[in-house]
């Protein structure tokens, strides 16, 4: 020992060895604090990244469109006649110009260099007097000719990859033969024309130079082997029309014909069976000339542009109040494109959007369903002769009055979403009235995704509401008893059980709710409701009886153990209710409460409904609310309640007047956190409801919540698509909602803690 | 006895009792739920007796049926009457059985509800055999004979013994086949794929000189030979495997031939002794825990799901612990305590309350589609266009769950750090230790139980979480385990099976829900048991910790 002391006293701390060691230690310390600082901050940043990332996925949806100049050049082969029609193919590499001399001129969209010139099969001595196009995508076009006939042809683009290089070859085809079809019997030039070719029939409608309206219907048969089409004329009408026909349009089902006459009056004809009738006549605009009528994608909605710069969307609406089959053309929404007259309206070929060009050379991009104006920009000093949009709506081209072709690129990723489309009622095509609809995908191509988040948000709130209806009273009352009255020995056992309840995976709750509870509830409906009524009654009755018992007996079980006393009673009540369920159904509901609900009360019933969700999710939320409330009540300073008791208040009075009052902010925050949890819960709702996005408070019907919707649709959603981003928006809404709720609750709790501290 | 109504109301007794009732209801709900899962889940493995009876039809026709009674219930007679079945007057309730009839391939449906009154001559025949098959579910019937290559080798009373021996033989062969198919051929295929990728990688880099290409080709040829040998061995084994068959006659008299290769086990539950039943019970339980699933997950075991869950949770712990602890240490020990730390603390706290599906969405968008695709572009161009990390998988699932549970670890660790008295720290600093040394040698060891608690809670949460995993990595049936004998052994890019998702999938996406239900209950029971154990251990560690440091507090 003595040696050791003398040894240590001799240490020279300034020896190089120790100095070095101190340096190393200081360095390690410094490095560690830097490292921990860096690590800690980066973890926190990583967590906050969630917020930023979700936002970054959502924001592009609300960005408008932008356009960018690509090329301009003089109209190629201007000598081949005036342009009647412009088009671009899928890749926007090759453009097409159809002339009034019957020439199809394919040229390189980049520089106007001629790619191919085709002379259409127009008979000798006949001139082109009008042009019409079928639905985009079919490529079908029709020339109205001066001898009262119509030539149908198609522009098509074959893509091949020789030597891994894409080569696009444009072709002109005559699907209905090279022989023009006669429209009407007279040899008069066709001034206006409309065409619709469907699977089994072809309908042509035209107006000739004498002002006569002509309609011809052909039935169509396609040979499978040679793909040759044989046409047979089925009907030929020339209905009465007054006024000067300016434009014709046939709807997609070939059952409605819209004829614009004079300034702004629209004649609607109905083609049904073997006859055609004038259905109605209406004035489209007030005192303003209509400049163009064009179909929106799908061939259901008409876009009507006028000279004052307004474009309005119209479609036929079935009147539900009257008899079936009563239709009326209604103005659905309108877009203000400025004050200049609208010269051209072109519909997008994949979405319900359209491009507008007005007389001052301005171009605007709009989306009909979202009622969104995405862009308005001047692109030319002169007004346009023609306007065309690429099939993918990623470019447009125009021919100006001065014989210049201009091509511009469009960047317009998510036009179909707008604040109003997401949250407000939208009048979709073929719907009777504006509605909230969530329908993100369907089997056919013409489908327009209906992305209204409202029904999902509604479902979320509904599910959370019913869950809270069960959970809040149970959890708060339970917490009050546990914290304030319960014997410590019992409390030590109860708390871990409730904590275990919190840890139960929700997938198990959901599975039990869907596979066990839902069928149980369905067959024992009266039991569920009688339990809700009789359990509290039985408890109160028990309390009354207990109060009447002699004191000696009462003292055997102190107040703190009441809960244990009640367990057998409640089980008994539940058992009685369940076994009395069938007789009750017999007596009150004619044997089957479910059908009684439907027939007598008029309430529809789903097996997996809000009641089941409420019970299951209530179960999941109870522990959250319970433990926070219990904490808040238990940590109310003891001297407060002791003071109250000392002044002669009963324990219950102390609780209500002193303890609860002090703890109320804590209880409030518990409810908020519980609500936040119910809102974000996924698996229970996914498994215990039918996941139908309906808006109805009916407790016997299901719902679809934001979270369940994400779980269902996210794996199938295409990355970067509008649907994908809307799902991100749903996640963002959930995130924000729970985050705000929890933060509020947390602040309330911290304040409360401070107050307890000061007490 | 005087009835004191007023005093009773005034004392607040009814309210106190109602509150007590709320606690009781909560307790009944939790315990009832656990009981329900346990009873339903554990019952499934017990060999239930097979009842045989004649089902009397409406027109008096009789059909002999046999099966296990799965459920019994009472139905009001009026309901039966309204469905058009004649019920005798005066009868108010009828007993109804859910019978598992098996024989799905013979009769079409394997479950049926029958009214007990319609059953005649109920009895439990000794001779009836339950045969578990690899396809088509159970078969119930009487053993007629055992055949070898189409020739009868035993029949009558001797058949049963021969049958049992031959099942054992078939099962041994099955094990060999399984080993070759899953392990050996699986490994050969895996090596093939690796060679293909290697070759492609060299091509992309432009280093495919003839020498290396020839090398690879030689390796491929070698593998091809191994593969051929294994194939031959397999063919031979299969010949042996399908050699035997049995003839069974069902309760309604139809004869069925069953190949022994399709049989998992056969037993006669009606003659089983108690000990035999207990043995059977544990054998089934073992099969459940240790075997692969069969028949679209509705039969067999859940081993891959257990394996996947455990592996995912372990990986998650590896990610979450260091990050969570560092963040907590920073927040508590290094950061300047002020408004910003308070805000950060609240934010971290609240992240624990953000819906798990949001983390799933984030994981899918950011990890899988963004990071994963970048990683693929840089490190795995040879696999293009099939994604390696650009698709949901084990790694992304673990990281997503780590992110989900990091607030839990941070909060628990911070609490542990806060509990350590200043005096301890100051003592260490006074002795000349640097801040880091104090932290490393004194503070962290003392707070390690708190970190443990945090980690256990995180694990418990991660083990039960399903919603985010559905987006970032689980599948209903994974072809191979994410950790196996093929280099590099741990396949972070693979998809995996998970207990929670298994419950969802089998319970809700399965074509034969009735058959799958007991298995779902059993899976649920297993999951609940694991999570309960984890939670209770977290709680006891926490209590232990509190006791330990109580003496240090002033």
d(CA A40, CA A34): 10
Residue A542 vs residues A546, A566, A567, A573: alpha-carbon distances, Å? 6, 9, 12, 12
Question: Would you call A547 and B11 a contact, using CB atoms and an 8 Å cutoff?
Answer: yes
Mean pLDDT, chain B, whole residue set: 86
Cα-based distances in Å from A487 to A490, A560, A563:
5, 4, 10
What radius of gyration, in Å, describes the C-alpha atoms of chain B?
Answer: 31
- Structure confidence at residue A198 as a pLDDT band (50, 70, 90): confident
Chain B touched by A714 (CB under 8 Å): yes
Query: What are the residues whose beta carbons fall under 8 Å from the beta carbon of A648, sequence distance 6 or more?
Result: none
**What's CA A613's distance to the chain center, in Å?**
23
Q: Is B492 inside any structural domain? A: yes
- The answer to whether B35 faces chain A, any CB pair under 8 Å, is no
Domain residues of chain A, as ranges? 126-155+165-283, 454-520+607-758
pLDDT, one tens digit per residue, over B313-329 is 999 999 999 999 999 99
Put simply, the answer to whether A567 touches B346 (Cβ < 8 Å) is: no
**Distance, in angstroms, between B65 CA and closest chain A CA?**
27
Is pLDDT at B78 greater than 80 in this prediction? no
Asked if A482 lies within 8 A of B362 by C-beta distance, the reply is: no
Which of B16, B327, B464 minimises the CB distance to A44?
A: B327
Side-chain-side CA neighbours of residue A557 (13 Å):
12
Q: What is the CATH classification number for the domain harbouring B99?
A: 2.30.30
Contacts for A103-108: CB closer than 8 Å, 24+ residues apart:
A103/A77, A104/A155, A104/A172, A105/A76, A105/A77, A105/A80, A106/A170, A107/A76, A107/A77
Residues B120 and B171 occupy one common structural domain: no
- Indicate if B206 and B151 belong to the same structural domain: yes
Domain assignment present for B327? yes
Give the relative orientation of helices A525-548 and A562-579 as an angle to the nearest 10 degrees: 140
Q: What is the pLDDT of residue A322?
A: 58
pLDDT of residue A1 exceeding 50, the answer is no
**pLDDT(A3) > 60:** no
Question: Are B26 and A498 a contacting pair at CB < 8 A?
Answer: yes
Q: Is B409 on the interface with A (CB under 8 A)?
A: no
pLDDT(B553) > 80 = no
* Chain B residues with beta carbon closer than 8 angstroms to that of A53: 362, 365-366
CB–CB of A507 and B466 under 8 A? Answer: yes
**Which of B2, B35, B92, B365 should be substituted to probe chain A, the one whose Cβ sees the most A Cβ atoms within 10 Å?**
B365
**What pLDDT shows up at residue A6?**
55
User: Closest residue of A to B520, CA-based?
Assistant: A511
Name, in order, each residue with C-beta under 8 angstroms of A751's C-beta and a sequence gap of 6 or more. Answer: A665
Domain at A126-155+165-283, CATH class: mainly beta
* Sign of the C-alpha dihedral computed for residues B404, B406, B409 and B412 taken in this order: negative
Give the residue from chain A lying closest to B6, CA to CA.
Answer: A544
Contact list, A536 vs chain B (CB under 8 Å): 18, 21
d(CA B335, CA B326): 12
- B350–A743: do the CB atoms touch at under 8 Å? yes
Selecting from B27, B334, B528 the residue whose C-beta is nearest the C-beta of A40 gives B334
User: Which tokens hold the place of B191?
Assistant: 């090596």
Same structural domain, B435 and B377? yes
**Residue A754 Cα distances to A184, A484, A660, A666, B199, angstroms:** 91, 21, 17, 12, 68
- In a domain, residue B539? The reply is yes
Best A40, A472, A501 member to test B by mutation, with max B CBs in 10 Å, is: A40
> What's the pLDDT at A629?
92
Nearest to B33 among A512, A653, A681 (CB): A512
Q: Answer yes or no: is B505 within a domain.
A: yes
**Same domain as B229, residue B362:** no
Q: Is A36 touching B (CB cutoff 8 A)?
A: yes
For residue B165, the enclosing domain spans 142-267
- Is pLDDT at B188 greater than 70 in this prediction? yes
Distance from CA of A222 to the nearest CA of B (A): 40
Q: Which residues of A touch B335 (CB under 8 A)?
A: 37, 40
pLDDT at A441 over 50: yes
Contact B11 A652 (CB under 8 A): yes
Taking contacts as CB-CB distances below 8 angstroms, the residues of chain B near A574 are 28
Is the pLDDT assigned to residue A352 strictly greater than 60? yes
| CB-nearest partner of B20 from A512, A563, A743 | A563
Which residue of chain A has the CA closest to B77?
A591
Residues B320 and B243 placed together within one structural domain of the fold: no
Hey, of A504, A578, A589, which one would you mutate to test binding to chain B, going by the most B CBs within 10 A of its CB?
A: A504
B380 within domain boundaries: yes
Per-residue model confidence as pLDDT tens digits over A113-167: 999 898 888 888 888 999 998 887 788 999 999 888 899 999 999 998 888 888 8
Q: What is the pLDDT of residue A320?
A: 67
Predicted confidence at residue B3, as pLDDT, reads 58
Tokens (6 digits) for A726: 């809307």
Across the interface, whether the CB atoms of B504 and A486 are under 8 A apart is answered no
Pairs of CB atoms within 8 A across A/B:
338
A290 and A305 Cβ atoms separated by less than 8 Å: yes
Chain B residues in contact with A658 (beta carbon < 8 A): none
Residues B146 and B121 in one domain: no
Distance (Å, whole) CA A293 – CA A277: 21
Q: Which residues, other chains included, contact A458 with Cβ-Cβ below 8 Å and sequence gap of 6+?
A: A436, A695, A703
**Contact partners, residue A627, CB within 8 Å, separation at least 6:** A479, A495, A498, A499, A502
Question: Between the CA of residue B41 and those of A677, A727, B518, B519, B526, what are the distances in Å?
Answer: 28, 37, 6, 7, 9
| B333 contact residues in A (CB cutoff 8 A) | 36
Kindly report, residue by residue over B133-177, the tens digit of the pLDDT. 888 888 898 888 888 888 888 887 888 888 888 888 889 999 888
B465–A499 C-beta distance less than 8 A: no
Q: Using N-to-C axis directions, what is the helix angle for A610-634 and A722-758, rounded to 10°?
A: 30
Do B111 and B177 belong together in one domain?
Answer: no
Chain A residue closest in CA terms to B74: A582
* Phi-psi category of residue A13: left, alpha or beta, with phi > 0 → left and psi -120 to 50 → alpha: alpha
B507 touches chain A (CB under 8 A): yes
> What ipTM, to 2 d.p.?
0.89
Nearest to B198 by CA among B372, B373, B375, B383: B383
- Which of left, alpha, beta for B491 (phi over 0: left; psi -120 to 50: alpha)? beta
Of A310, A330, A550, A576, the residue nearest A430 (C-alpha): A330
| B326 and B439 belong to one structural domain | yes
pLDDT tens sequence across B272-309: 889 999 999 999 999 999 888 887 777 888 999 999 99
Residue-wise pLDDT for B80-127, tens only, equals 777 777 777 777 778 888 888 888 887 777 888 888 888 888 889 888
Q: Least CA distance to A544: which residue of chain B? A: B8
Instruction: Locate the chain A residue with the closest alpha carbon to B343.
Output: A743
Angle at CA of residue A413, ends A368 and A167, nearest 5°: 110
The whole-number pLDDT of residue B88 equals 75
Domain total of chain B? 3
Instruction: Tell me the pairing of strands B50-56 and B62-76.
Output: antiparallel
How many angstroms separate the CA atoms of A150 and A144, rounded? 5
8 Å CB contact of B22 and A510:
no
Flag whether pLDDT at A348 surpasses 50: yes
CB count within 10 Å of CB A433 equals: 9
Considering the domain architecture, whether residues B147 and B121 belong to the same structural domain is answered as no
Using CA atoms, how far residue A593 sits from A471, A527, A666, B76, in Å, is 26, 11, 41, 13
Q: Does domain A454-520+607-758 have CATH number 3.30.230.10?
A: no
Query: Is the torsion defined by CA of B408, B409, B411, B415 positive or negative?
Result: positive
pLDDT (tens digit, 9 = 90+) per residue, A306-330? 888 899 999 988 876 655 668 888 8
Share of chain A above pLDDT 70, in %: 97
A748 touching chain B per CB within 8 A: no
Give yes or no: residues B240 and B161 share one domain: yes
The whole-angstrom separation of Cα A423 and Cα A437 is 10
Please name the member of A485, A515, A562 whose beta carbon is closest to the beta carbon of B507: A515
**Any chain B CB within 8 A of the CB of A747?**
yes
Give the contacts of A226 (CB within 8 A, at least 6 positions apart): none
Contact A73, A404 (CB under 8 A): yes
Cβ of residue B175 closer than 8 Å to a chain A Cβ: no
Chain A, residues 319-338, CB within 8 A of chain B, namely none
Please give, rounded to a whole number of angstroms, the shortest distance from the CA of A157 to a CA of chain B.
Answer: 28
Residues in A closer than 8 angstroms to B18, CB to CB, are 477, 536, 539-540, 543
Q: Does A515 touch chain B (CB under 8 A)?
A: yes
From B67, B94, B125, give the residue that closes a domain.
Answer: B125
What is the arithmetic mean of pLDDT over A385-409?
89
pLDDT of residue B1: 45
Distance from CA of B60 to the nearest CA of A (A): 28
- pLDDT tens digits for A601-640? 888 888 888 999 999 999 999 999 999 899 889 888 888 8
Q: Using an 8 Å CB-CB cutoff, list chain B residues near A26.
A: 434
Of the candidates A758, A206, A503, A40, which has an alpha carbon nearest to the alpha carbon of residue B439?
A: A40
Asked whether the beta carbons of residue A503 and residue B82 sit closer than 8 angstroms, the reply is no
Backbone phi, psi, residue B296, to 5° = 50, 45
């Amino acid at each position: 020992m003595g040696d050791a002391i003398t040894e240590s006293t001799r240490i020279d701390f300034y020896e190089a060895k120790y100095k070095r060691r101190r340096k190393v230690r200081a360095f390690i310390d410094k490095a560690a604090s830097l490292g921990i600082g860096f690590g800690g901050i980066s973890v926190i940043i990583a967590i906050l990244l969630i917020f930023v990332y979700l936002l970054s996925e959502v924001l592009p949806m609300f960005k408008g469109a932008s356009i960018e100049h690509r090329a301009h050049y003089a109209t190629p082969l201007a000598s081949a006649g005036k342009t009647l029609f412009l088009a671009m193919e899928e890749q926007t590499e090759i453009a097409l110009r159809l002339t009034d001399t019957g020439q199809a001129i394919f040229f390189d969209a980049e520089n106007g260099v001629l790619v191919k010139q085709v002379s259409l099969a127009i008979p000798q001595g006949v001139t082109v007097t009008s042009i019409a196009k079928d639905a985009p995508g079919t490529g079908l076009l029709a020339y109205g000719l001066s001898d009262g006939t119509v030539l149908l042809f198609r522009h098509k683009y074959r893509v091949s990859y020789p030597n891994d290089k894409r080569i696009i070859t444009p072709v002109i085809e005559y699907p209905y033969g090279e022989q023009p079809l006669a429209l009407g019997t007279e040899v008069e030039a066709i001034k206006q024309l409309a065409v619709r070719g469907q699977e089994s029939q072809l309908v042509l409608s035209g107006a000739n130079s004498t002002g006569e309206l002509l309609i011809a219907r052909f039935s169509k048969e396609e040979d499978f082997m040679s793909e040759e089409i044989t046409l047979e004329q089925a009907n030929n009408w020339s209905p009465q029309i007054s006024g000067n026909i300016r434009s014709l349009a046939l709807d997609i089902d070939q059952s409605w014909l819209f004829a614009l006459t004079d300034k702004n009056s629209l004649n609607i004809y109905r083609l049904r069976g073997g006859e055609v009738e004038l259905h109605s006549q209406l004035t489209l605009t007030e005192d303003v000339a209509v400049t163009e009528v064009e179909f929106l994608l799908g061939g259901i909605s008409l876009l009507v542009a006028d000279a004052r710069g307004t474009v309005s969307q119209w479609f036929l609406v079935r009147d539900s109040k009257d008899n079936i089959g009563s239709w009326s053309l209604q103005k659905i929404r309108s877009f203000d494109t400025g004050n200049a007259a609208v010269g051209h309206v072109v519909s997008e070929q994949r979405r319900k959007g359209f491009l507008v060009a007005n007389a001052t050379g301005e171009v605007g991009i709009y989306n009909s369903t979202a009622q969104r104006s995405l862009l308005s920009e001047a692109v030319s000093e002169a007004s346009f002769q023609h306007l065309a949009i690429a099939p993918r709506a990623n470019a447009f081209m125009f021919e100006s009055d001065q014989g210049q072709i201009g091509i511009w690129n469009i960047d317009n990723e998510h036009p179909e979403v707008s604040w109003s489309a997401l949250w407000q009622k939208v009048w979709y095509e073929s719907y009777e009235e504006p509605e909230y609809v969530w329908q993100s995908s369907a089997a056919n191509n013409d489908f327009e995704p209906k992305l209204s988040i409202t029904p999902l948000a509604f479902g979320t709130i509904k599910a959370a509401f019913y869950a809270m209806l069960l959970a809040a009273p149970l959890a708060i009352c339970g917490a009050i008893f546990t914290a304030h009255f319960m014997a410590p020995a019992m409390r030590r056992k109860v708390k871990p059980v409730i904590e275990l309840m919190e840890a139960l995976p929700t997938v198990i709750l959901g599975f039990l709710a869907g596979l066990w509870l839902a069928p149980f509830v369905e067959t024992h409906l009266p039991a569920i409701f009688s339990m809700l009524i009789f359990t509290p009654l039985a408890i109160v009755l028990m309390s009354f009886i207990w109060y009447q018992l002699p004191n000696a007996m009462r003292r055997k079980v102190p107040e703190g153990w009441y809960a244990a006393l009640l367990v057998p009673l409640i089980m008994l009540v539940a058992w009685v209710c369940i076994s009395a369920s069938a007789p009750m159904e017999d007596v009150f509901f004619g044997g089957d409460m479910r059908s009684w609900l439907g027939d007598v009360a008029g309430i529809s019933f789903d097996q997996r409904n809000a009641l089941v969700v409420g019970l299951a999710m209530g179960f999941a939320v109870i522990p959250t609310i319970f433990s926070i409330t219990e904490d808040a009540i238990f940590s109310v300073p003891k001297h407060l309640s002791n003071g109250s008791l000392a002044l002669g208040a009963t324990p219950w009075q102390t609780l209500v007047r002193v303890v609860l009052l002090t703890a109320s902010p804590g209880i409030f925050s518990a409810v908020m956190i519980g609500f936040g949890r119910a809102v974000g819960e996924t698996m229970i709702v996914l498994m215990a409801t039918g996941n139908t996005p309906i808006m109805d408070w009916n407790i016997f019907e299901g719902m679809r919540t934001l979270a369940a919707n994400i779980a269902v649709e996210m794996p199938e959603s295409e990355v970067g698509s509008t649907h994908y981003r809307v799902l991100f928006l749903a996640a963002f809404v959930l995130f924000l909602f729970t985050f705000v709720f929890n933060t509020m609750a947390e602040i309330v709790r911290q304040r409360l803690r401070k107050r307890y501290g000061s007490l | 006895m005087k009835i004191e109504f007023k005093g009773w109301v005034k004392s607040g007794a009814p309210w106190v009792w109602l509150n007590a009732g709320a606690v009781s209801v909560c307790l009944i709900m939790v315990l009832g739920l656990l009981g329900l899962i346990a009873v339903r889940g554990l019952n499934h493995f017990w060999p239930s007796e097979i009842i045989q009876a004649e089902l009397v039809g409406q027109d008096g026709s009789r059909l002999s049926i046999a099966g296990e009674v799965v459920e019994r219930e009472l139905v009001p007679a009026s309901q039966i009457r309204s469905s058009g079945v004649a019920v005798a007057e005066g009868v108010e309730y009828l007993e109804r059985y859910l019978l598992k009839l098996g024989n799905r391939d013979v009769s079409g449906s394997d479950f049926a509800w029958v009214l007990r009154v319609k059953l005649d001559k109920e009895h439990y025949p000794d001779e009836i055999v339950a045969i578990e098959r690899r396809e088509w579910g159970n078969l119930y019937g009487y053993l007629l004979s055992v055949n070898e290559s189409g020739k009868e080798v035993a029949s009558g009373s001797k058949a049963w013994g021969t049958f049992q021996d031959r099942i054992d033989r078939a099962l041994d062969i099955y094990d060999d086949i399984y080993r070759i198919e899953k392990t050996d051929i699986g490994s050969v295929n895996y090596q093939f794929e690796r060679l293909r990728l290697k070759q492609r990688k060299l091509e992309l880099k432009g280093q495919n000189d003839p020498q290396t290409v020839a090398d690879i080709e030689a390796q491929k040829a070698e593998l091809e030979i191994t593969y051929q040998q294994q194939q031959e061995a397999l063919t031979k084994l299969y010949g042996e495997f399908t050699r035997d068959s049995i003839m069974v006659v069902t309760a309604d008299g139809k004869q069925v031939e069953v190949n022994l290769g399709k049989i998992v086990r056969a037993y006669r539950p009606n003659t089983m002794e108690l000990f035999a039943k207990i043995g059977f019970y544990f054998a089934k339980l073992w099969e459940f825990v240790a075997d692969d699933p069969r028949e679209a997950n509705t039969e067999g075991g859940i081993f891959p799901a257990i394996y996947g869950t455990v592996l995912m949770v372990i990986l998650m712990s590896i990610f979450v612990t260091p990050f969570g602890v560092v963040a907590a240490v920073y927040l508590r020990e290094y950061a300047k305590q002020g408004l910003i730390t308070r805000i950060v603390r609240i934010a971290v706290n609240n992240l624990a309350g953000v819906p798990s599906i949001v983390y799933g969405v984030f994981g899918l968008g950011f990890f899988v589609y963004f990071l994963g695709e970048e990683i693929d572009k840089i490190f795995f161009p040879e696999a293009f266009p099939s994604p390696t990390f650009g698709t949901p998988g084990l790694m992304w699932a673990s990281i997503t769950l780590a992110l989900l549970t990091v607030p839990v670890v941070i909060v628990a660790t911070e609490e542990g750090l806060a509990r350590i008295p200043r005096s301890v720290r100051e003592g260490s600093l006074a002795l000349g230790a640097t801040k880091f040394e104090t932290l490393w040698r004194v503070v962290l060891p003392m707070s390690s139980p708190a970190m443990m608690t945090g980690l256990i809670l995180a694990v418990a949460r991660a083990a039960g979480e399903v919603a985010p995993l559905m987006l970032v990595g689980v599948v209903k049936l994974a072809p191979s385990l994410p950790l196996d004998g093929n280099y590099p052994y741990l396949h972070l890019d693979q998809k995996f099976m998970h207990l929670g998702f298994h419950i969802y999938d089998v319970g809700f996406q399965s074509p034969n829900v009735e058959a799958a239900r007991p298995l779902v209950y059993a899976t649920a029971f297993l999951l609940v048991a694991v999570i309960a154990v984890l939670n209770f251990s977290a709680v006891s560690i926490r209590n232990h910790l509190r006791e330990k440091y109580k003496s240090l507090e002033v």
